[in-house]
Amino acid sequence: MFINFSNHPSDAWGEVQLNAAMEYGDVMDVPFPAVNPYADKEEIHKICDKYVTQIMNLNPSCVLCQGEFCVAYGVISALKKLGVKVVAACSERKSAERKVDDKIEKVSIFTFVQFREYE
């Protein structure tokens, strides 16, 4: 099973990204939590423990982990210690600018390229 632990639901992914995830099995979303910026180290550890337990109960073959940096780092580290493959989504960003009245509007389009394993 491929666990999508991020704030980007898999039903909004493009075909290339979805097919890459499905190489690991069925895709299941586990929404990344909102993390209070005032949270202390103890609270961060509790959040990490909660989600590592939840993810491990799903018997993942691979986990996409992207979100608030301290929680992501804790979850990635713990999952790797448990022998789980953890990846990030790598995308190519293409930007374009256009003038709208007296303002410059910038549009970025992200195209999925691959999943890259955290090592």
Q: What is the CATH number of the domain that holds 57?
A: 3.40.50
- Exposure string of 79-101, with b = 16+ CB inside 10 Å and e = fewer, is beeeebebbbbeeeeeeeeeeee
CB 5 within 8 A of CB 75: yes
pLDDT tens track for 5-52: 999 999 999 999 999 999 999 999 999 999 999 999 999 999 999 999
- Number of domains composing the chain: 1
Q: pTM for the full model?
A: 0.89
pLDDT tens track for 44-91: 999 999 999 999 999 999 999 999 999 999 999 999 999 999 999 999
Identify the domain containing residue 64 by its residue range: 2-117
